[in-house]
Structure 1
Amino acid sequence: MTSPSIEIMFAARALAPLGPRDAPSGIVKIAAPAPWRLLREGLAGDRQGDLRHHGGPEKALHHYPRDHYDAWAKEGPELVAALSAPPAFGENISTLGVTESDVCIGDVLAFGSALLQVSQGRQPCWKLNARFARPDMARRVQTSGRTGWYYRVLREGVAEPGDRLQRVERPLPDWSLSRLNDLLYRRMLDRDALAQMAELRPLAPSWRALAARRLAHGVVEDWSSRLVGA
């Protein structure tokens, strides 16, 4: 993994209605003033509209690779306006040169005086459909594997523009986010891999539980509510 320099972080300073139900959402973010305080619950000043599914210690910070923007624009020219600048996907951190194939579950990174750990990938939800005015955008993000990922904050701290994300530990080198996405959405009932996934201690507990349920019942969970909305 390269050590990208961070010039901007993004936060939702206020919630805004989104979609046909006007659900409160913090997906629309703006540049957050530096210095950035990185807390257990996320970037100081950031907000989430649905605390059941967004935010919290296991989803404290969302990182989405700017590298994917060109691919989305080529696949959907109608998305170009929304992709004109980050944070189109509601990310807190946007970088170039690092994607899901370069990042592993459990990676520990220093950022300023804070210490972050990759906790899980992003499971896209219907709010991306509303954000991009495409009813299938969440499903396309999931299918593509261009999901981005989340960090938990192991040590709270402060970061400044120009500080780099420096990897200091990699406990699970065989478990890239690309591999995890492949298991979740393609090889969905690979029992050997699911058994391993269920035991990955740095992985968010909810994702370990998901693997355990698939193993126990031999059934893939219904994604319709998440991808389309109730």
Structure 2
Amino acid sequence: MTNETLTGLLESISRGTVKDFQHGKVVVPSAFVKEPIPGAVWLGVLGILGDEHAYKHHGGPDLAVCVYSKEYYPWWQEKVPAILPPAAAFGENFTVSGLLDDAVCLGDQFEVGGAIIKVTQPRLPCFKIARRHGVPLAAVWMQRESITGYLCSVVQEGYVQAGQVINLIEREATPTTVRNANRILYLDKDDKQGAKRLLEFQGLPADIRKKLLRRLEKD
């Protein structure tokens, strides 16, 4: 358990199936466009039941759930020409409130419904956000503003449902926020001390760990 108090709300749960996605003059397979799920759904170690991935590196235990904060939607709506959908506008599985990137930390474990999820890394935005919303610099802005959202593993499988409260139940002894982790990983690559702090997180995915170690080896 943790002495820290952090509570949010699961506003919506969404999943997608692989379909054709227009990227310029090219059509690529993607499950980026997701739809909200009514009622309870099973959340397993590989994610929400029925949520598909077109590419291997888009899924897996460390990337089981993509979480994005509803509080960021108004900021985006000022820049996106069309009206944003109320949920999954940025390809997220969980649209939440109360769990911003500057409050949530790597390694945080949250209880929601019958499941427990664990934050593993900031979300790395891709071109599909820009393409879907007609904003070419969307991915750049998302990282620059440190409003990326985050990816989670599933510590305990169980049923989840929109409207449930999300409670923090465990936090690392020396936590690093998602916002700060995004800065260290993608914006301030000369922050060697920050890289060392991130490497102290035992749950850091192997590919990110290797990236940080290569960065430190250049000293």
Fold shared per TM-score above 0.5: yes
The structure whose residues are more often strand, as a share, is 2
Partner Cα distance (1:132, 1:7) in 2? 21
Contact 1:120-1:151 at 8 Å conserved across structures: yes
One of 34, 40, 44 as aligned partner of 1:39 = 44
Asked whether the equivalents of residues 82 and 88 of structure 1 are also in contact (C-alpha less than 8 Å), the reply is no
% identity of equivalent residues = 28
TM (norm. structure 1) is 0.86
Task: Name segments (4+ residues, structure 1) moved above 3 Å.
Answer: none
- CA-based RMSD of the aligned residues comes to 1.7
Tell me if the contact between 1:129 and 1:137 (Cα under 8 Å) persists in the aligned partners: yes
Could you tell me whether the CA contact under 8 Å between 2:45 and 2:155 is conserved in 1?
Answer: yes
Report deviation, 1:108.
0.6
Number of the residue aligned with 2:139 = 138
Match of 2:27 among 1, 22, 30: 22
CA distance in 1 between partners of 2:69 and 2:55 (Å): 23
1:101 CA displacement:
0.7
Aligned partner of 1:225 in structure 2 is: none
- Where in structure 1 are there 5+ consecutive unaligned residues? 219-230
What is the DSSP-based 3-state SS (H/G/I as helix, E as strand, rest coil) of the residue aligned with 1:214? helix
Q: Which amino acid aligns with 1:176?
A: T
For each residue in 1:164-220, what CA deviation from the matched residue of structure 2 results, as whole angstroms up to 9, or x when unmatched? 2111100145301111112123321111221222231022222222111111135xx
* Equivalent runs, 1:44-193 vs 2, <5 Å: 44-52=49-57, 54-74=58-78, 76=79, 79-193=80-194
Q: Mind listing any 5+ residue stretches in structure 2 that lack a counterpart?
A: none
Q: Scaled by the length of structure 2, what TM-score is found? A: 0.90
Give 1:122 shift. 0.6
